[in-house]
Amino acid sequence: MWLFVFFDLPVTTKKERRQATRFRKDLLNDGFSMMQYSVYNRHCASKESAEVHIKRVRSYVPEKGQVSILTVTDKQYGSINNYWGKRSSPMPEGPKQLEMF
């Protein structure tokens, strides 16, 4: 399973910028990778593992802004098409190590 976190956070004030930075760092510390500036993704070995990470993300959400979380299966994720300029590039292979807990 894959988790995607999409967000649009205000960065008008110094406090908002700090909260947005903290949110990004929390995602990275929880094993997410930046796909685009406000789109992060993470592989989870099971639905239960995904639910744990969803709860963590919910605890990181700043007081202002919008955060969306999407779960997709490995098969759905495998059909993604990414383009850098006019060329299509394949996604790097997913994790090969089995997560036990």
3-state SS, residue 41? strand
For the cut 70, the answer to whether the pLDDT of residue 9 exceeds it is yes
Domain count, the chain: 1
pLDDT of residue 97: 60
Mean pLDDT, residues 93-98 taken together: 62
Q: How far is CA 96 from the centre of its chain?
A: 19
CA geometry: angle at 97 spanning 93 and 101, to 5°?
130
Q: Is residue 101 part of a domain?
A: no
Range of the domain at 29: 2-75
What is the C-alpha separation between 51 and 54, in angstroms, rounded? Answer: 5
Residue 67 belongs to some domain of the structure: yes
Q: What is the pLDDT of residues 16-70, one digit of tens each?
A: 999 999 999 999 999 999 999 999 999 999 999 999 999 999 999 999 999 999 9
- Is this prediction's pTM over 0.85? no
Instruction: Give the span between the Cα atoms of 3 and 40, in whole angstroms.
Output: 8
- Structural domain contains residue 56: yes
In a domain, 12, yes or no: yes
Q: Yes or no: say if 67 and 6 are a contact pair by the CB < 8 Å rule.
A: yes
Residue 94 lies in a domain: no
CATH number at residue 16: 3.30.70.240
